Amino acid sequence: MKTTHALLALLIGALLAGCAGSDTADDSRFRNVRLNPGPQNLGSIAQVGLTDQGPITGLNLFVGGVPSGSGSPLQIYSFIYPGTCAQLGAQPAFSLNENVRANRVNNGWYLSKTAPISLAELRAGHYAIVLRSSPADRNIELFCGDID
């Protein structure tokens, strides 16, 4: 299982590195954020690729593990909070939950979303991305990652 997670992480990293372009490309249009597992999801991996789309930001979420017993089909709720994972703001700045159903891809899941804020503002504003399980799955924090 750990080998599968490591392979998935390697594939995701290669995919996102390919999307980033060459070393001479302007990397301000793309940002890769590693998401750290929450206390009830230790040992799992996740990553989000942020892409500049003008006044909005595209998010491509890749999740490599969720707690056993999670509902099917898997639903993942996504939020952008002010602050950092160590000290989240009291309320999310953005709730990105128009679509919560994750698509199964090999040994992981994929979701694509948009946030109504530019990537430049996200990077300058000290925000964190939080992924949670569905209310039916106890609304636990699955992953968190600081946007820098």
Ordered structural domains, the chain, with CATH: 2-147 (2.60.40.200)
Question: Does the pLDDT at position 17 exceed 60?
Answer: no
Residue 142 clears pLDDT 70, i.e. is over it? yes
Q: Whole-angstrom Cα distance, residue 23 to residue 2?
A: 31
Spatial separation of the C-alpha atoms in residues 146 and 22, rounded to whole Å:
24
**Over the stretch 76-118, which tens digit does the pLDDT of each residue have?**
999 999 999 999 999 999 999 999 999 999 989 999 999 999 9
Longest Cα–Cα distance in the chain: 46
CB of 45 within 8 A of CB of 8? yes
CA distance 62 to 22: 22
Confidence band for 38, pLDDT divided at 50, 70 and 90: very high
CB 133 within 8 A of CB 66: yes
Work out whether the CA dihedral 29, 127, 131, 98 comes out positive or negative: negative
Pairing of strands 76-84, 87-88: antiparallel
Neighbours of 75 (CB within 10 A): 19
Rounded CA separation 87/47 (Å):
20
Q: Read off the pLDDT of residues 53-63 as tens digits, 9 standing for 90 and up.
A: 999 999 999 99
* pLDDT above 90 for 10: no
In residues, how long is the chain?
A: 148
User: What is the chain's mean pLDDT, rounded?
Assistant: 87
pLDDT-derived band at 26 (thresholds 50, 70, 90) equals: low
Q: Average pLDDT, stretch 33-48?
A: 97
